[in-house]
Amino acid sequence: MPLILQTLNVTAPVFAMLFVGVALRRLGWIDVPFINTASALVFRATMPTLLFISIIEADLAAALQPRVLLYFSAATLATFLLAWGWALLRCPPADRGVYVQGAFRGNNGIVGLALASSLYGDYGLSLGGVLAGLVILLYNVLSAVVLAIYSPSGRYDVGSIVASILRNPLIIGVVAAMPFAYWQIGLPGWLMTSAGYFAKMTLPLALICIGGTLSLAALRESSGPALSSSLMKMVWLPLLGTVGAWLCGLHGPELGILFLYFASPTAAASFVMARAVNANAQLAAAIIVITTLMAALTINAGLFLLGWLGWI
């Protein structure tokens, strides 16, 4: 029961903000122009600021474990390719980029890190923080690639993909923060406080936009691909990633934290990026909702099974 409550304490606020977005749209307090403007603000400004702050405040030396980081990087790439291969069989070309992003991109900066800290204390926070910094870069680069390939414009080449990565505000925010984190360059207190106020708008604003995009008709229309992508995100890929980590000799808290990161629901950033490139944002929103609802069941079932097996 405590595990269930801890998971619900993290996922329930996310779902509540989605519901707020639905309610505001139904009341007519927000509309499509607001959603477009707010989504652009999140993608171009508030989320890059949040990523920048998260990285420069992370203690990179506290839990730097090359084996865990290397495995997580390899597993992220493998799950990305597996989701992409499955999308070739299951999705029309226009939806493949959104399907793949929804299937492999977890909400590790919010859900994964919070659960790692809750279950493993300071160690979970330090190792989880290092993993979060790594995964931010991996997720954004891989998402930029697959979304560029399946861009609605239908035109892409290596140059355009590289350009989309270099112009991606989320990646710029991560890269810009690295020198500050590595050399521990401090910023003025007033600047960090102001940036913190600005960054805190990211999650509620993104979730309100997602909720404002949702409708019963959109959920029904996207139900097949959204459910397929959600099952990959919450069941099959965490299963493969966690078993692979155990076979590589990882166990205990390290394996538990890796599982939490593999099993986190789809990140709100997937909606923001899909909307930024004019992809199927309704499908992205549906995947976020379904995986968030599934999280309380699948994460707790996974932790119970890993504990019963004696792996964590």
Domain boundaries, the chain: 2-304
* pLDDT for 4: 65
- CA dist 182 and 1 (Å) reads 40
Cβ 43 vs Cβ 273: under 8 Å: yes
User: What is the model's pLDDT at position 233?
Assistant: 96
Instruction: Say which amino acid occupies 43.
Output: F
pLDDT of residue 155: 60
C-alpha to C-alpha distance for 122 and 95, rounded to whole angstroms: 40
Looking at residue 30, what is its pLDDT? 93
Neighbours of 204 (CB within 10 A): 17
pLDDT number for residue 296: 79
Give pLDDT, residue 262.
95
| Residue 234 DSSP symbol | I
Distance set, CA 126 to CA 48, 154, 184, 257 (Å): 21, 42, 16, 11
Q: What is the mean pLDDT of each run of 10 residues along the chain (312 residues)?
A: 65 81 92 90 88 76 78 95 93 92 87 79 75 82 90 68 81 85 87 93 87 72 84 95 96 92 90 88 89 86 89 86
CB neighbours of residue 231 within 10 Å: 16
What secondary structure letter does DSSP report for 201?
T
Question: 2-304: which CATH number, 3.40.50.12780, 1.20.1530.20, 3.30.300.10, 3.30.70.1890?
Answer: 1.20.1530.20
